[in-house]
Structure formats: structure tokens, C-alpha cells
Amino acid sequence: MYNQTIIDETKQMVRSKLLNEGSGHDWYHIERVWKTALNLAEKEKANRFIVELAALLHDLIDDKIVSNKNEAVKEVLYWLEGAGVSSSDSEKILEIIENISFKGGNNKRLHTIEEQVVQDADRLDAIGAIGIARCFAYAGSKGTPIFDPEVSVRETMTEEEYRKGKSSAVHHFYEKLFKLKDLMNTKAAREVAEERHKFMEDYLTQFFNEWEGQ
């Protein structure tokens, strides 16, 4: 059953945790994903309550920003239980937030429309103008260079290699961002992704022109 109080309290909790996060996974990223997921859920007739909570909570267990994923999962489940979310809905929400990450292209196929909507919303925020800004913000937070012409683009990689292998912010465009357009699950997301993908292509054309001193 939809409960606006649970949504509002979850928004405040997540905002307090991630407001000043510096890697591009801050509260404003969450807020954008939540709004996009709502729009997609309406178009795709997904369960709004499940989609909203999953979108709001999706980064609280991400190993890019938490040191202990198992503890983070327990905290999310504790929050959902305390908020009055049913065990069946909590299970659906947890399944979404555990499975939507890119993970070097090694993530599993999603089966429910709610999973697909939240994943699409998250991926849309990784491309386009904001996606570019987030890419460089994350690279900077990890001490990764803007570009290293002596490093090769990795075509395939394990999740471990994706997380810890040598790369650069610009390499990330080829290793992940340019792949996302064709990995969108829903028609509504694919339409948005086309324009954002083109913007990234134009950006890198300009980037490499300037890199060569043109």
C-alpha cells in the first residue's frame, strides 16, 4: 500500500546521509534518480511505491561509497522494517538496489518492471551533461587522472578489475557511459538516452581537439 509518510521520512534520512557526499553519489543525484524513476514508473505502469523507495535507497549499499556492504544492507532492512514497510515489499526493494549497478557490465538480467525503471533512472543520470560532471567528480575523488593516453580501453573486465584497475575519467566514457544507451530497459528511457549520448560524443570530440592543442 502506498504511504507518503514513509516516502517523506526516507527522503529526509537519505538526504542527511548523502548531502555532502563528494563522489557524485550525493543527495542531489538521489533526488534526480527519484524524480526520473517516478516519470518512468508512470509511463511504464510500474509500482510507484516500490520504485520510489528503491530509487531513494539505491546508493546506501553501494560499495563505491560504503565500507561494509553487509552492514549497509542490514541498516536498509532495519530502516524499512522500522518505517512499516511489509517484508514482501522490503524484499523487492532490496533485490532492486542489489542488482541495478553496472559492475563492469557483469550485472544480471532484471525481470520486473520496477527493477528496470530504477536501473534506467540511475543510468540516465550517468550520461549527458550531468553524467560528464559526475564522471570527473568521481575520478577526482578517487585520485584517477582526467586522461592517460598510455592506458588502453578495457573491453571486458571482471567486477574487481572494473573497480580497481588502471583507468581514467575519459576511459570511463568508453568502458561504461557509451554503453548505457543500448542497455536501457524501457522505451521511455531509450528516448532520453539518445540525446544525452549524442551530447557526450560531441563533448569528447571537443575534448580531444583541445588535448591536441587545436
pLDDT exceeds cutoff 90 at 104: no
Say how far apart CA 78 and CA 50 lie, in whole Å. Answer: 16
pLDDT tens figures, 147-163: 999 999 988 777 777 76
Query: Mean pLDDT over all residues of the chain?
Result: 93
User: CB of 167 within 8 A of CB of 154?
Assistant: yes
Residue 110, sorted as left (phi over 0), alpha (psi -120 to 50) or beta, turns out to be: beta
Amino acid identity, position 211: W
Say how far apart CA 109 and CA 119 lie, in whole Å. Answer: 11
Taking alpha carbons only, the member of 39, 18, 45, 24 closest to residue 141 is 24
pLDDT exceeds cutoff 70 at 103: no
Extract the C-alpha cell encoding 52: 520510489
| Residues counted in the chain | 214
pLDDT, average across residues 5-31: 96
How large a percentage of the chain has pLDDT more than 90? 85
Query: b vs e for 154-174, b when ≥16 Cβ sit within 10 Å of the residue's Cβ?
Result: eeebeeeebeeeebbbbbbbe
pLDDT, average across residues 104-118: 80
pLDDT exceeds cutoff 80 at 85: yes
Neighbours of 152 (CB within 10 A): 10
pLDDT, average across residues 3-17: 97
Q: How much is the pLDDT for 1? A: 57
pLDDT exceeds cutoff 70 at 105: no
pLDDT exceeds cutoff 90 at 168: yes
Predicted TM-score of the model (pTM)? 0.92
